[in-house]
Structures are given as C-alpha cells and as structure tokens.
C-alpha cells in the first residue's frame, strides 16, 4: 500500500507549530497534525482523507511534560503507563492500548484525538469505491452513511480510544492552543457527537496537554474493555469507573464509556439516579442496567451491536465490583 | 446410468486387488526386509523397534535421523539473507500493478487503456486479450485466466495489469484505465448456488450440472446404510456453519518475471508447487516448458495458499514479455485476501449413530461448501469433506453427499488440513455427544472403535501403521483426564478430539503414477566429498530441504554440513509435484533414500576393493566405512569415494518414489487415497467466561503419530504451529462478508489471528508408529496436527459450560447467544448458575473398556507379525475380516449414484443431484 505524497514539516517549538498551522489556515489549505503517527499513517496508507501537508509535533519539547496532574499531549502512551506518578486508573487504561510497539510510538494527544472507525470506512480506496464511498470519506460524491442508510447528516463511526473514559472519570481538563490563543475545558465538553467532526478542535488548533485536579489522586478507579484479542485490538466496548471512598461513604462516582458510540461519554445522569441510595451490590446492578439502556452502538465493528450493548452491563458491573473491593 | 458404468475409477488397477503387506515398494532390490544382523552394532547395536522392523533399518547410521535439527535454511532467515519473492531485485525492473474489478459479477463491455498508455513512465499494459488460455491447478477444472476475459467474477478479480517505471506511476495508470461493465446478478449465499441461474458463474459446457452454480457434487454410500437408523441406540444430529478462513501467511504474494536474451522466461516466486506453475505458464504463454525456469524463492509461509498457479504470476510474465524488462508484482494484504484460496465456508450436516454395543453403526454427512469464483482444488475438497472422516474408527455405514458451489467471492482452495478440518470437527464433536448420550467416557468410546494397523477403511483406504490408540492413551494420561473430565467447575473444561490425515496423495494430479514417479531426487558427489542434492520439493518453511539432507546424511553417514540442497529452480531440479497434501517428507525422503542407497553401494564396493573385506559385512559410520566384525578394517569416506570415482569422476545417482497400487475401483476411489495416514489426538483445556462468552484455551496436550520423527524439533514446531492455526479458526478467524457482499475484514487488524496472548501452552507428544512404507518409518506431520484442535476445544467448551458449539469461530457474541439460550432452557437468568454436564457411566462403559483392551492386544499382535491376515472395515460388525464386507453381504452397499428415492428427498448439498448434467439431459445445450 502506498501513501499519497505529502509535505512533512517539523517545527521545534509550539509557537512555530501554531504559526505554520496558521499559515495553512490562512491560505485555505488543509493539513494534519502528526504526533506518534500510529493512527494517521495507516489511515494515509488507506487513502483516508489524506492531506498535502502534515505538521509533526515530534520535536516540540514542551508538549512532553509529565507529572501527576499534568500530561503533555506528546507524552508517549508507554511512558504514561510505565510511570510511577501516573494515576493507577490511567496506568491501567494506557497499558491496555493496542500493543507495546504502538504504545511506544503513540501519544496521549493522539489517543484522545483518535479518528473514529467503521467497517465501511477503514478500507482501501478500491474497496470504498466499489461500495460507492461513504459519508465519512465521500470523495466529492455526497455519499450516504453506509451503516444507517439514507442519511448523510450524521457519521456514526465509532470512537475506540482507551484513555478518554479514564480521563473523564478523573475529571480531566483539556488544554488547546492555536495561533489565536489558548483555551481549556472539561474533557467531557471536548467531544462533539459526530463521527466526522469528533471534537471542538478548530482548524489550526491542537491539544497541548491534559490536567487533572489535585483531588483526583483520591479517586479509586478501574477500566474494563471488550476486545477479541488481548493485544492490538481496538475496544469494542470500554467502561471506566472511579469514586472516592470515605469510610463507607461513596462520593464523586463517575462512570464513562468508550468504543460504543461516536464519542466517549460520561454517564452522570444514570449515576445521579442511584448514588443517593447507594446500597452496594444492588445499586451496581441497577446502575449497570441503566448504562446498558443508555448506550446504543451501531453495526460497524467486529462484534454485533446488541452483544456489545449487553457487555456494557457486564463491564460496568465488573468495574464497580472491583473498585468496591479496592 | 448404472452403478457399473460409473465404476471406471482408478485406471491404475481396474478391479480389486488383494490386500498386501505394504513396504514392498515394487521391484526395488533394497526393499526386502532385512534381519537385525544388518543393523550395525557400531551404531548402537540392534535398533530398539517396539513397532516392528523396517525396510530402512539396515541404512541407519545414527548420524542424523531423529536428532533435533535446526532447519538448514534457518540461518538465512534469521540473518535477513533469505530472499523472498519481493527481495528479488533485477536491474532495470518495472513495477507491475493490477486493476481489479469493483463489481461482484459483471461482463466487461470495453476496456480503454489509451490514456494509461500515454502516461509517462508506463511501459506495458496487459488485458485479458493478451492471454486467453485458461489454466487451473487441476487439469479437470481449468477455469482461470491471467486477466478477465469477458467476465469478472468477484470484487478483486483481475481486469488489467500495468508495468511502469515506479509504483506511483503504475497506480496512477490504473486510475486512467476506463472499463465499461454490464453488471450481472451476483450470488453470495452458497445455498443460492444450488439453484438454477440465468448466468451461471462458469459454463462447463456439456458437463455443466443443470443451469446451477454447482462446480462438483459427490455421492457415496458404503455399508449397511438401510439398517443404521434401526440399529441406533443413540444418535447425534447437528447442522454446522463454518466461516471461511484465510491462511494468513506472513509474506504476501510477490513475483518477478524476466525474459533473458535467449528468450527464456524465469519466474521468481514463492510457490508451493513450482511444477504446476511451470505447466500453467507454458499453457498460458503458449511457449514450451523447456523455455521456462520457475525459480522458487524462499517462501514466507504457504499453508496451501501458494499452491495454485496464480494469475498475477502470468501477468508478470506477460508484462515482462511486452516490455522486454523484468517486472515485479507485490501484493498488499488486501490483495492476498482477494486471492484467498483459504478454507471453504461450509454448511455441514452431521448425523452419527451408535448401536447397543457402542459401535459406530452409521455416519451420515452432508457438506455444502462455498468455492467462491473459481475451482482451484475444489474438486478434491468436495471429496475430502466426506472421505477423510471414514477413519480411524470402524464404521457400519457411511453416507456422504457433498457439493461445491461457485459464488461471487474470492476462490476458496486448499488450506492446511485440506477439506478434512471442518467435517472432522463436526464428526468428533458428534462422537462426544454420542458418548454423552450413551453415558460412556469419550476416550473409551474412541479406543473401543479403532481400526487396527494394516487394515482397510470402509471406502478402501489402506491403513498401514496407526498410533491412534497410543495418541489417545498418552493425552489421557498427560492431561490427567480421568480425574478432571466432567469434574471441573463451571467455565472450566477439558475435551478430546482426534484427527486422521493423508500422508501424500496417492494419485499425482497430472499423470498416471504407473508412468512417472511422484518424486525424484538426484545426487552428485565430486572429489570434495560434499553431496549436492537436486530436488524439486518446495521448502515452504516446513523443513523439506532439511529432511532430505538428513535422509541422505543418514544413509551415507555424513554430517549435515557436507550436504547442500539445490531445490529452487526447475532448470536444475527433477520434477516434483510440490508441497501439498503432506507428501514431501514421505515421498521426497523416500526418493532421496533410494538415490543414496545407490551411492552407498558404490562406496561399499570401493571399500571392498581396497580392503578385500566382504561387502555384505561392511557398514558406514561417521565418515568411515568398515567391517562391522572388525572395525579396524576399513577406509575413510573420502578414500572410498575417490576409489569409486577413479574410472568415472563424480558419482551421480537418481532415486524415485511412487505409490504402490492401492484402493478400490468405484468412481472417486482415488480421492483421499494415500500411501500412509497420520493420526492424532488432542486434549484441550479451556476457560469460558460465562458472562461475556469469551473463550480462552489454556493447555493443549497434543499427541501426533508421525510414524518416525526424522527431525523432532520440526515435528514439534508443526504441532504447535498447527494448534495456533486451528485455534484461530475455532476462536476468532473468519472472512466476514457484509450485506453488500464485500469482504469487510481484508486486513490483519480486523481478521483476527490469535496473538501470543491467546496461545495456550502446548505440550507436543510424538508417537512413532514406524510406518512400513515411510522413509525410516516417517509419515506426515504438517497438516494432520491441525485437525484435532478444533473439536477438542469445542468439546472442552461443552465440558465447561454445557454449550454444544455448531458454528465457528466461537466469537464471544456467538458464544454469548448460546449461553443465553442455555440459560433459558435451564430456566435461570444468571449464567453463573448454569449447570454443567455430568458423567454417569452406564453398563456399556465396561463393555467398551473390555473391548478396547482386547483390541489393544489385537493391534500389537498385528503390527509385530509378518504373516497377518487382511482386515477389512466391517469385522467389528460380525463380518469376516479377511474379505471386503460387500463381498459377504448383499446389504453392504457400495454406491456412488443416488437413488431416485434419495433425489426426491435430499439433504442440503445432496440437492445438487436434483439437477441433470447437460450431457445427460438430451438437449446437449
């Protein structure tokens, strides 16, 4: 498989990177950021929305800072999972991503911004041509979505990154930057429900780092995911949960999901319904069932959606049971 | 048409032949059994041969055979110096790319290549018009073209090929080729292939079966078919669905073609069957075979997926001819999946019947297999799905209907365990169910129904050696079976499965075995003393170069570094049929031994000349030839060699192997016929997560009877590798086609080959049954070990959670559905409360245990006795063992034509017989 040619730019500072990006935006030219490249390069090889220009962040040193509350966008997943100061929940999630090889290259920022995936999209150009393209990579044909027929307003490709639910449970804040300035927001506000836009990033903007509130260290968390194989595979469902335990008092319970819909989601509503009368095992059962009901996967990955949905309940139950006994 | 008219069969031997002790090997002077005296005492005295003597015993020098030997080409691979298909770089090369069909089924109305030709850097373009001759691996079903002529038959079918200065230009040129298609109705469900169609995918002319897409159909009925249901004490019924799987070899197809200045063509390609490619190239290019050299590069895994002559190999040659420059074509992974030739997706109905004495009184199999768009090996696969589960058990009746249909998908073909894997899985799971219903231990059930050594199966296969009993007993002990079976907690279980596979196909594909041998090996030894072996056997990583080198080294008493193997070029290698049907070790090593014996005799004669010793008393040790009664009398190997070379220079010898006459005479009798068969028994231990349906295999005890492990290291590698490959088919691998008929997972991320994490601990156990026909007693070990892992895992799943699997792979979503169904049946809502199967032994258990004990004695007596009586399948059911049962009873059927009664009410694949072949229809359409 041959990649289409592109120009690779290697800025050495964040400022320079944003300037370069600004140049492309001003000129109306499309470009991609590349961090570890473990998502972008395969997509380019498949000719999935390749751009003529690519800005590499590999030499932007200031994005690699790692502390217990600050995680640079360019921190390698492997470093995150191996570091002593990483929150145990993040360690778990990061250590479960793909394989060692990919974790050594892939980055935190890249994982959060992972492109959504779909059986009708992650295919070669010839293949997509023979199904007459799809909404997410239409190649100028105005093609419909191939998963949910006769519509081209929403892309339902699945978000299959592992870090997001863990970070969501820890109340992470995401920090963005562009030549126009910096902004920050709760990670839960970063994602936008559409498999194509995916998040709030504007052209020329990137994820510089993530911060965790200091009290996140008091949270006990757990991440479970569904994959066919222990290594390599993207999660077909993933549930993270975290809470604070004061004696027998439970507070700050968060549950988040990934691998099921176009974006990762925090399930505050379902939690709020059971938390006031928390009774351990029974509540876990009620909450797990509520989560199952609230999540609606579509048929675009390896395992069937009704099964993935049922597994939400099992994964949630396992997560909650596990943190209950931690 | 009557039965008699169909009884044309195996032209080698019209009529029946008496059962004879094998190992005769024809008129070969070296084949007579030798006495123990002949085994050189200097090499360890009398050989310990618990399984009896072997005709090669006198050749044993204890230098090489049986040693754990790293493959002799391994160092090239680990140092990166091995040249695989894509590593061949000839100067001035062009890059070839293939334009593939975007449609499932369409007629090509026009192809306009003018814009592509005008592109700078494009040197040659080929289309179907450049090579209209058909080819195919089997002479009876040549249905492929280098490039589509008129019809494209699946998405990915080859339409045009471009050779350009570089890859980017070639890809750009493909975009510029304008093809106009007329789209035809495509077929994706194999069941639709059984029906008449307006546009059948192929037209077989007068041999076409109705107007349907049936490529091949088989009907076979043996034994007391009428009585089996009445006699049944317990019956098993199942309907299986098997997904199609791909070989998943590491190296994608890659080929380089070059015409030299003398006008000869060399094709460099990782091929399992260079000779068949050689023939096909000659057919397609319309040049004589002597103008072609097929150069087999290192093969980065084949597993049957590189055992067809391929269209892209023809394309490279055509483009090279047109451009006058070397052309290299390398596939990406998606193209590998679009070429496929993997295991057939199948619907298999399996019905088994056991009588009151725990005998297998009936086997009814119906197999519908999805061939995809081309025939490939499918003719054979259709037979193998039936005939390869007629052993190792003695059966009272066998009823098989099989059909292979064309669909608009990439072609299925041969894959490790060719044709035997799916039906074997269904069969062995059926045995487990039968023993459950009879309330007996499945191990004992199997042990009490085995065919003895030197026997004939119900369809007339000649079983020489069998170590089936030992395999079962060894895994029973190693797995601690008796303490664990049906006694483990919910979600944890063990299961057993067996296998039976051919060790070489009895019939060469392209010729009568009476005219040409299957394998030929040439040896050359010059003054340096090193031995050059010329053989056409394709080393595909299985170690065939090593085993032929070991065989020669053993006979001549030389270290392996004095042996060099030249096996890559058809220019220098004698014809060999190639690496398929697990024939290479058996046939090629036999040919090598035969050639070595000629050299050995010359060396012994020369030594006798020098020393005056009695040649009959001379033996060969490590690079020395001496009198076994007085080892001081002797000469070095080189002295003897130079003496032998005095008058004539380099010693050369040629040895060959052909199969002995075998088998019955009905139509299709040759399918599945082999000079020897391998046997295996596995016990798998699994854990099933009853909440998620995820299955993991923890331990596998894998016993395989390979006759004699010439290289135990390689045999163990084959066993472990087979486990991995079979595990993929059970747990996760499947070519998934979406609702539009497109392959959804043509890449190695979505096509789920188990990783190291999924791999269980495999305990390989080698059983050596010392096959009388095999080289030093050896049989195959490359394919047979794959068969038992599937049913062993399925049976272990039943032991763990009580789910009878009938669809592979058992992905967690499928398994979860089964668990939910079982919960409903047991009236519970929580799967953690499932009741698992229990074992309450019935009185039959004792009867079977006693019978197994008696049979064990019978088997040991048979294998150690020279004057044994014939044993035909049927003896267990009261027939005289020495005669085929059909000669003793009118009720014992031998039929290959279905009755009208059957056709009126057929099974699924059997419904293929509702159609009348065009030539019999009267209209001669």
**Predicted confidence (pLDDT) per residue in A42-89, tens digit:** 999 999 999 999 999 999 999 999 999 999 999 999 999 999 999 999
Residue of A nearest to B746 (CA): A123
Pick A230's closest partner by Cβ from B100, B171, B755.
Answer: B755
CB–CB contact B738 A119 (8 Å): yes
Contact B215, B405 (CB under 8 A): yes
Q: What mean pLDDT is predicted for residues B326-339?
A: 97
State how far residue A124 is from chain B, nearest Cα, in angstroms.
8
B103 and chain A in contact, CB less than 8 A: yes
CB–CB contact A304 B732 (8 Å): no
Pick A1's closest partner by Cβ from B332, B738, B742.
Answer: B332
Give percent of chain B with pLDDT exceeding 90: 86
Q: What is the pLDDT of residue B505?
A: 87
B713 and chain A in contact, CB less than 8 A: no
State how far residue B691 is from chain A, nearest Cα, in angstroms.
7
**Predicted confidence (pLDDT) per residue in A147-193, tens digit:** 988 888 889 999 999 999 999 999 999 999 999 999 999 999 999 98
Pick A303's closest partner by Cβ from B103, B754, B813.
Answer: B813
In SS3 terms, B415-458 reads as: CCCCCCHHHHHHHHHHHHHHHHHHCCCHHHHHHCCECCCCEECC
**Predicted confidence (pLDDT) per residue in B278-315, tens digit:** 999 999 999 999 999 999 999 999 999 999 999 999 99
Q: How confident is the model at residue B922 (pLDDT cuts 50, 70, 90)?
A: confident
Interface test with A, best of B749, B820, B830, B831 (most A CBs within 10 A): B749
Cα distance between residue B272 and residue B188, in whole Å:
29
CA proximity to B462, closest of B202, B167, B155, B669: B669
Higher pLDDT, A146 or B96: B96
Segments making up each domain of chain B, as ranges: 85-184+247-339, 510-657
**Predicted confidence (pLDDT) per residue in B350-398, tens digit:** 999 999 999 999 999 999 999 999 999 999 999 999 999 999 999 999 9
Q: How confident is the model at residue B513 (pLDDT cuts 50, 70, 90)?
A: low
Contacts of A127 in chain B (CB under 8 A): 155, 334, 742, 746
Contacts of A229 in chain B (CB under 8 A): 732, 752, 754-755, 757-758
Burial (CB count <10 Å: 0-12, 13-18, 19+), residue A162: buried
Q: How confident is the model at residue B511 (pLDDT cuts 50, 70, 90)?
A: low
Cα distance between residue B220 and residue B7, in whole Å:
12
Which residue carries 């390398």 as its tokens? B330
Residues belonging to chain A with any Cβ–Cβ distance to chain B shorter than 8 Å: 1-2, 5, 119-120, 122-124, 126-127, 129-131, 226, 228-233, 302-304, 307-308, 310-311, 314
Segments making up each domain of chain A, as ranges: 119-154, 226-324
Does domain B85-184+247-339 match CATH 3.90.1170.50? Answer: yes
Q: What is the pLDDT of residue B509?
A: 73
B171 and chain A in contact, CB less than 8 A: yes
Contact B441, B405 (CB under 8 A): no
Pick B754's closest partner by Cβ from A122, A124, A229.
Answer: A229
Contacts of B754 in chain A (CB under 8 A): 229
B482 and chain A in contact, CB less than 8 A: no
Burial (CB count <10 Å: 0-12, 13-18, 19+), residue A75: buried
Residue of A nearest to B99 (CA): A126
Mean pLDDT for all residues in chain A: 95
Q: Is B257 helix (H, G, I), strand (E, B) or coil?
A: strand
Pick B816's closest partner by Cβ from A130, A230, A307.
Answer: A307
CB–CB contact A129 B155 (8 Å): no
Interface test with A, best of B179, B252, B692, B817 (most A CBs within 10 A): B692
Residue B222 structure tokens = 């043996």
Pick B102's closest partner by Cβ from A130, A230, A233.
Answer: A130
CB–CB contact A124 B811 (8 Å): no
Residue of B nearest to A305 (CA): B813
CB–CB contact A228 B811 (8 Å): yes
CB–CB contact B171 A2 (8 Å): yes
Cα distance between residue B267 and residue B286, in whole Å:
15
Q: Which helix (H) or strand (E) holds A108?
A: helix A108-112
Residue of A nearest to B817 (CA): A307
pLDDT at B13 over 50: no
Q: How confident is the model at residue B5 (pLDDT cuts 50, 70, 90)?
A: very low
Mean pLDDT for all residues in chain B: 92
Q: What mean pLDDT is predicted for residues B238-249?
A: 98
Q: What mean pLDDT is predicted for residues A249-270?
A: 94
CA proximity to A116, closest of A233, A263, A309, A304: A263
Residue of B nearest to A317 (CA): B691
Cα distance between residue A174 and residue A176, in whole Å:
7
CB–CB contact A311 B692 (8 Å): yes
State how far residue A269 is from chain B, nearest Cα, in angstroms.
26
State how far residue A302 is from chain B, nearest Cα, in angstroms.
7
Contact B596, B523 (CB under 8 A): yes
Paired with B653 in beta bridges are B523
Higher pLDDT, B865 or B749: B749
Answer left, alpha or beta for residue A39, where phi above 0 means left and psi between -120 and 50 means alpha.
Answer: alpha
Contacts of A131 in chain B (CB under 8 A): 740, 742
**Predicted confidence (pLDDT) per residue in B678-710, tens digit:** 999 999 999 999 999 999 999 999 999 999 999
Pick A226's closest partner by Cβ from B692, B736, B749.
Answer: B692
State how far residue A122 is from chain B, nearest Cα, in angstroms.
9
**Predicted confidence (pLDDT) per residue in A207-244, tens digit:** 999 999 999 999 999 999 999 999 999 999 999 999 99
Q: What mean pLDDT is predicted for residues B496-515?
A: 84
B750 and chain A in contact, CB less than 8 A: yes
Q: What is the pLDDT of residue A113?
A: 97
Contacts of B732 in chain A (CB under 8 A): 228-229
Backbone angles phi, psi at B430, to 5 degrees: -60, -40
pLDDT at B543 over 90: yes
State how far residue B724 is from chain A, nearest Cα, in angstroms.
14
Contact B144, B283 (CB under 8 A): no
pLDDT at B819 over 50: yes
Least confident of B9-13, B90-94, B318-322, B644-648: B9-13
Residue of A nearest to B167 (CA): A2
Q: Return the ∠ at Cα B306 (arms to B300 and B307), rounded to 5°.
A: 140
Residue of B nearest to A132 (CA): B102
B732 and chain A in contact, CB less than 8 A: yes
Residue of A nearest to B812 (CA): A228
B687 and chain A in contact, CB less than 8 A: no
State how far residue B313 is from chain A, nearest Cα, in angstroms.
19
ipTM over 0.90: yes
**Predicted confidence (pLDDT) per residue in B420-457, tens digit:** 999 999 999 999 999 999 999 999 999 999 999 999 99
Q: What is the pLDDT of residue B17?
A: 42
Query: Which of residues 756 through 795 in chain B touch A, CB cutoff 8 A?
Result: 756-758
Residue of A nearest to B736 (CA): A302
CB–CB contact B746 A230 (8 Å): no
B392 upstream amide cis, omega within 30 of 0: yes
Q: What is the pLDDT of residue B46?
A: 62
Backbone angles phi, psi at B624, to 5 degrees: -150, 140
Q: How confident is the model at residue B413 (pLDDT cuts 50, 70, 90)?
A: very high
Fold adopted by B510-657: Aldehyde Oxidoreductase; domain 4 (3.30.365)
CB–CB contact B756 A228 (8 Å): no
Does domain A226-324 match CATH 3.30.390.50? Answer: yes
Contacts of A2 in chain B (CB under 8 A): 167-168, 171
State how far residue A315 is from chain B, nearest Cα, in angstroms.
9
């Amino acid at each position: 498989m041959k990649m289409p040619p592109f120009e690779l730019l290697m800025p050495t500072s964040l400022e320079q990177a944003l300037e370069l990006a600004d140049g492309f935006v001003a000129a109306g030219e499309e470009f991609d950021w590349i961090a570890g490249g473990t998502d972008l390069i395969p997509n380019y090889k498949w000719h999935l929305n390749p751009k003529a220009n690519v800005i590499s962040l590999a030499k932007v040193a200031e994005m690699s800072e790692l502390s217990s509350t600050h995680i640079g966008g360019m921190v390698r997943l492997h470093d995150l999972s191996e570091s002593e100061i990483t929150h145990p929940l993040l360690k778990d999630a990061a250590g479960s991503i793909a394989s060692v090889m990919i974790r050594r290259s892939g980055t935190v920022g890249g994982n959060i911004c992972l492109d959504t995936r779909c059986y009708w999209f992650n295919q070669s150009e010839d293949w997509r041509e023979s199904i007459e393209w799809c909404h997410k990579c239409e190649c100028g044909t105005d093609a419909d979505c191939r998963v949910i027929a006769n519509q081209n307003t929403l892309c339902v490709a699945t978000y299959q990154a592992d870090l997001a639910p863990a970070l969501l449970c820890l109340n992470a804040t995401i920090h963005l930057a562009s030549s126009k300035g910096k902004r920050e927001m709760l990670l839960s506000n970063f994602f936008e429900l559409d498999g194509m836009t995916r998040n709030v990033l504007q052209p020329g903007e990137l994820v510089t780092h993530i911060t965790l509130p200091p009290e996140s260290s008091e949270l006990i968390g757990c991440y479970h995911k569904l994959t066919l194989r222990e290594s390599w595979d993207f999660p077909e469902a993933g549930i993270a949960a975290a809470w604070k335990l004061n004696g027998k008092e439970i507070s700050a319970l968060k549950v988040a999901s990934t691998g099921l819909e176009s974006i990762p989601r925090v399930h505050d509503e379902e939690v709020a319904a059971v938390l006031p009368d928390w009774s351990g095992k029974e509540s876990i059962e009620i909450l797990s069932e509520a989560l199952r009901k609230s999540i609606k996967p579509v048929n675009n990955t390896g395992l069937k959606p009704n099964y993935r949905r049922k597994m939400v309940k099992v994964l949630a139950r396992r997560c909650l049971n596990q943190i209950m006994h931690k | 048409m009557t039965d008699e008219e169909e009884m044309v069969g195996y032209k080698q031997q019209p009529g029946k032949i008496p059962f004879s002790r094998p190992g005769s090997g024809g008129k070969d002077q070296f084949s007579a059994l030798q006495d123990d005296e002949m085994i050189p005492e200097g090499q360890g005295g009398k050989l310990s041969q618990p399984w009896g003597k072997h005709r090669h015993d006198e050749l044993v020098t204890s230098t090489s055979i049986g040693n754990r030997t790293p493959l002799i080409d391994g160092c090239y691979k680990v140092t990166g110096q091995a040249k695989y298909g894509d590593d061949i770089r000839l100067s001035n090369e062009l890059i070839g790319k293939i334009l593939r069909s975007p449609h499932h089924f369409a007629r090509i109305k026009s192809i306009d290549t003018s814009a592509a030709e005008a592109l700078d850097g494009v040197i040659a373009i080929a289309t179907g018009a450049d090579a209209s001759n058909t080819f195919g691996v089997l002479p009876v079903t040549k249905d492929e073209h280098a490039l589509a002529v008129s019809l494209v038959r699946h998405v990915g079918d080859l339409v045009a090929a471009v050779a350009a200065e570089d890859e980017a230009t070639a890809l750009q040129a493909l975009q510029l080729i304008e093809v106009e298609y007329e789209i035809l109705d495509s077929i994706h469900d194999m069941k639709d292939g059984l029906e008449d169609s307006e546009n059948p995918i192929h037209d077989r002319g007068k041999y076409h079966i109705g107007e349907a897409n049936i490529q091949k159909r088989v009907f076979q009925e043996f034994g007391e078919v009428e009585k089996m249901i009445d006699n049944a004490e317990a019956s098993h019924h199942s309907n299986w669905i098997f997904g199609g799987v791909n070989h998943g070899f590491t190296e994608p197809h890659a080929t380089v073609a070059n015409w030299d200045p003398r006008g000869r063509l060399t094709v460099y390609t990782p091929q399992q069957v260079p000779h068949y490619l050689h023939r096909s190239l000659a057919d397609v290019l319309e040049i004589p075979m002597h103008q072609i050299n097929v150069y087999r590069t290192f093969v980065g895994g084949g597993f049957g997926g590189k055992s067809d002559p391929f269209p892209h190999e023809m394309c490279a040659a055509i483009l090279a001819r047109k451009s006058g420059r070397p052309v290299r074509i390398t596939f990406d992974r998606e193209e590998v999946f679009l070429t496929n030739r993997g295991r057939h997706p199948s619907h298999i109905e399996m019905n088994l019947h056991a009588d009151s004495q725990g005998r297998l009184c009936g086997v009814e199999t119906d197999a519908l297999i999805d061939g995809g768009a081309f025939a490939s090996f499918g003719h054979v696969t259709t037979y193998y799905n039936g005939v390869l589960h007629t052993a190792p058990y003695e059966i009272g009746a066998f009823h098989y209907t099989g059909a292979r249909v064309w669909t608009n998908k990439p072609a299925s073909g041969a894959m490790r365990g060719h044709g035997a894997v799916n039906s074997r899985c269904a069969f062995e799971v059926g045995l487990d169910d039968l023993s459950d219903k009879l309330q007996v231990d499945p191990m004992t059930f199997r042990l009490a129904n085995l065919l003895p050594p030197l026997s004939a199966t119900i369809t007339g296969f000649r079983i020489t050696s069998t170590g089936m009993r030992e395999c079962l007993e060894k895994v029973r002990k190693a797995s601690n079976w008796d303490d664990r079976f049906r006694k483990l907690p919910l979600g944890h279980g063990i299961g057993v499965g067996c296998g039976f596979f051919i060790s070489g196909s009895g019939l060469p594909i392209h010729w009568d075995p009476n005219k040409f041998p299957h394998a030929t090996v040439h040896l050359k030894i010059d003054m340096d003393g090193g031995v050059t072996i010329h053989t056409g056997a394709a080393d595909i990583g299985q170690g065939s170069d090593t085993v032929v080198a070991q065989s020669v080294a053993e006979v001549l008493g030389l270290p392996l570094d004095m042996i060099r193997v030249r096996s890559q070029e058809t220019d220098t290698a004698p014809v060999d049929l190639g690496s398929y049907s697990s024939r290479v070790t058996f046939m090629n090593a036999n040919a090598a031994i035969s050639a070595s014996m000629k050299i050995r005799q010359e060396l012994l004669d020369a030594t006798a000349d020098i020393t005056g010793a009695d040649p009959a008393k001379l033996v060969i040790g490590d690079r020395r030839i001496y009198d076994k009664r007085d080892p001081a009398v002797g000469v070095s190997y080189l002295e003897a060699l130079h003496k032998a070379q005095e008058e004539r220079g380099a010693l050369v010898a040629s040895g060959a192997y052909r199969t002995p006459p075998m088998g019955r005479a009905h139509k299709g009798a040759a399918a599945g016929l082999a000079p020897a068969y391998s046997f295996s028994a596995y016990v798998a231990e699994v854990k099933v997560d009853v909440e998620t349906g995820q299955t993991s295999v923890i331990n596998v005890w894998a016993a395989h009877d390979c006759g004699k492990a010439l290289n135990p290291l390689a045999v163990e590698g084959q066993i472990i590798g087979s486990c991995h490959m079979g595990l993929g088919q059970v747990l996760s691998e499947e070519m998934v086609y979406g609702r539009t008929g497109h392959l959804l997972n043509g890449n190695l991320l979505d096509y789920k080959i188990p990783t190291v994490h999924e791999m269980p601990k495999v305990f390989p156990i080698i059983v050596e049954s010392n096959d009388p026909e095999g080289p030093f007693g050896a049989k195959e070990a490359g394919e047979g070990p794959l068969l038992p892992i599937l049913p062993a895992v399925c049976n272990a799943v039943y032991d763990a959670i009580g789910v009878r699997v009938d669809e592979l792979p058992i992905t967690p979503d499928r398994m979860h559905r089964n668990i939910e169904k079982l919960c409903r049946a047991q009236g519970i809502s929580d799967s953690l409360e499932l009741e698992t199967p229990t074992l309450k032994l019935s009185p039959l258990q004792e009867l079977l245990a006693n019978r197994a004990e008696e049979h064990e004695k019978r088997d040991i007596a048979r294998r150690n006795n020279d004057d044994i009586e014939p044993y035909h399948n049927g003896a267990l059911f009261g027939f005289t063992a020495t005669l085929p049962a059909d000669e003793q009873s009118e009720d014992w059927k031998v039929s290959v034509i279905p009755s009208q009664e059957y056709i009126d009410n057929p099974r699924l694949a059997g419904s293929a017989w509702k159609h009348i072949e065009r030539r019999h229809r009267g209209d001669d359409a």
